[in-house]
């Protein structure tokens, strides 16, 4: 069993906020691309988030599901000796983001402008979405409030298995994953430690009262059927947005799935249109490179 924090993850660029917890950040590919003057991620296109000022992090790498499409390793489960205090995480945000982006310094990399580098050192947004299930971290509501008090906006991305914790959280935008149209598919695709299907439905029911999004990761041949059943669940939830995103053959998911499980963007778009035609959501935008379509609730 590897020591905590997990050494393989450190080698992959994870920066851990403390030596005994699994709270970590890791800039995403788009953050680095944006720094070099390239494209920003679809969250810029859809919601106006600047990729080079966004911190991708998690307060814990623990998770209660083992989704087939997840990019994390289930073989190298990092053990967590204790939770990292919210204040320690807040204090480490700028420091570790700077460390993680060190190779993209404007002096070292002439594709990076001084202006973007300076902006990147003052992040504005925290995406609690790196890996692991953040609602398993007992101080999540305090952490989110602390981020807001310090001028950050937040996206919280959860698998929805812990509605009691979600009720206490107040992020700028709450995401819940819905990766199956029914219980049987959920158990097969997400492989939870216990059957959380009813809890996920309860969490989805919280979304109508707030700025929110449902994320569907579409895996070809596994969960890309019954659009009308997805539509019924979306309709009941009242979420503000729905992101339907094609599975990407990346990371450790390559050990569980095949390249053929990646739908083309046209297939994602066609599925999204079928879902939208069966509920009160309409097409809002799409990003071909990321194979994602966003729907929004009709007014």
- Interface mask toward ligand SF4 for 41-80; x: CB under 6 A: ----------------------x-xxx--x-x--------
Longest alpha-carbon distance in the chain:
53
Q: How far is the CB of 36 from ligand SF4 (least distance, A)?
A: 28
For ligand SF4, the closer of residues 63 and 234 by Cβ is 63
Q: How far is the CB of 66 from ligand SF4 (least distance, A)?
A: 5
Cα separation of 128 and 58, whole Å? 5
Select from 109-117, 127-135, 141-149, 272-280 the region that touches ligand SF4 (CB under 6 A): 127-135
For ligand SF4, the closer of residues 39 and 77 by Cβ is 77
In this structure, the number of other CB atoms found within 10 A of the CB of residue 103 comes to: 9
Q: Give every CB contact of residue 264 below 8 A, 6+ residues apart in sequence.
A: 246, 291
159 in contact with ligand SF4 (CB under 6 A)? yes
Partners of 281 in the β-ladder: 297
- Phi, psi of 271, rounded to the nearest 5 degrees: -65, -45
133 in contact with ligand SF4 (CB under 6 A)? yes
In this structure, the number of other CB atoms found within 10 A of the CB of residue 23 comes to: 28
243 in contact with ligand SF4 (CB under 6 A)? no
Q: How many residues bind ligand SF4 (CB under 6 A)?
A: 10
Burial 173-205 (b: 16+ CB within 10 A, else e): bbbbbbbbbeeebbeebbebeeebbebbbbbbe
For ligand SF4, the closer of residues 131 and 287 by Cβ is 131
- List residues binding ligand SF4 (CB under 6 A): 63, 65-67, 70, 72, 131-133, 159
């Amino acid at each position: 069993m590897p020591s905590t924090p997990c050494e393989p993850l450190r080698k992959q660029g994870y920066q851990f906020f403390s030596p005994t917890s699994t709270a970590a950040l890791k800039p995403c590919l788009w953050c680095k691309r944006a720094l070099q003057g390239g494209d920003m991620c679809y969250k810029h296109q859809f919601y106006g988030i600047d990729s080079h000022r966004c911190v991708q992090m998690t307060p814990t790498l623990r998770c209660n599901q083992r989704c087939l499409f997840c990019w994390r390793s289930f073989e190298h489960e990092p053990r967590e000796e204790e939770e990292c205090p919210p204040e320690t995480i807040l204090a480490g945000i700028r420091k570790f983001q700077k460390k993680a982006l060190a190779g993209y310094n404007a002096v070292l990399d002439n594709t990076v402008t001084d202006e973007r580098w300076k902006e990147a050192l003052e992040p504005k947004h925290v995406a609690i979405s790196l890996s692991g299930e953040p609602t398993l971290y007992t101080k999540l509501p305090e952490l989110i409030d602390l981020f807001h008090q310090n001028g950050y906006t937040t996206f919280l991305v959860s698998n929805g298995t812990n509605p009691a914790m979600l009720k206490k959280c107040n992020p700028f935008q709450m995401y819940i994953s819905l990766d199956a149209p029914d219980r049987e598919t959920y158990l097969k695709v997400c492989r939870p430690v216990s059957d959380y299907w009813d809890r996920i439905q309860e969490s989805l029911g919280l979304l109508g009262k707030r700025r929110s999004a449902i994320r569907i990761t579409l895996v070809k041949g596994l969960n890309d059927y019954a659009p009308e059943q997805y539509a019924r669940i979306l309709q009941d939830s009242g979420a503000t947005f729905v992101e339907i995103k094609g599975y990407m053959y990346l990371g450790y998911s390559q050990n569980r799935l095949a390249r053929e499980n990646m739908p083309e963007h046209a297939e994602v778009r066609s599925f999204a249109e079928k879902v939208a035609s069966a509920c009160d959501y309409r097409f809002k935008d799409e990003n071909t490179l990321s194979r994602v379509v966003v729907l929004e609730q009709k007014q």
